[in-house]
Amino acid sequence: MNENAANLAMVTITSDPNARPEETAIVREGLHQFNFDTTGRAQYQDITLFIRDAAGAVRGGLLGYVWAEWLHITHLWVAENYRGRGLGGRLLARAESEATALGARGAFLSTFDFQAPGFYRARGYEMYGTLHDYPPGHAEHHLRKMFSMTP
């Protein structure tokens, strides 16, 4: 038995819903490094924006990152009593502005039918895919927007 086969024989697969952050970071960082090595694109920048009230408490925000000339918006949320005041639109515009400054040529995201597909479409996003019946009785929509690249 060669060394690789012996090592593989000792491998186990475990389930750990309470994994430590440093362990999940190994998987994330391993995938990121593989992507960087494969594409030659290693520049990665988090986009982290918050809505804060007068006391500094977080009342909403947008999380995402820019990689390979695209802004991937992973989370956008505004507390219920702060909705309808244009704050979500301001978050989105700020993220797009920061991403453009970092060289992004577009943005993409996912949203459920019960969340905000109309909000994004009204701001220039187009649907490019839908996963029907996820969650059951609903749909997850995938949207993108190309930024105008004016010199």
SS (H, E, C) 46-103: EEEEEEECCCCCEEEEEEEEEECCEEEEEEEEECHHHCCCCHHHHHHHHHHHHHHHCC
Single pTM value for the model: 0.87
Which position has the token pair 């024989």? 9
For residue 149, pLDDT over 90 is answered with: no
What domains, with CATH codes, occur in the chain? 42-146 (3.40.630.30)
pLDDT at 50: 98
For residue 31, pLDDT over 80 is answered with: yes
pLDDT at 126: 98
pLDDT at 9: 80
Q: Which of 5-19, 20-34, 78-92 has the lowest mean pLDDT?
A: 5-19
pLDDT in tens, 33-82: 999 999 999 999 999 999 999 999 999 999 999 999 999 999 999 999 99
CA distance 18 to 75: 22
Nearest to 67 by CA among 47, 49, 48, 45: 45
For residue 1, pLDDT over 80 is answered with: no
Rounded (10°) CA dihedral 139, 114, 146, 103: -110
For residue 5, pLDDT over 80 is answered with: no
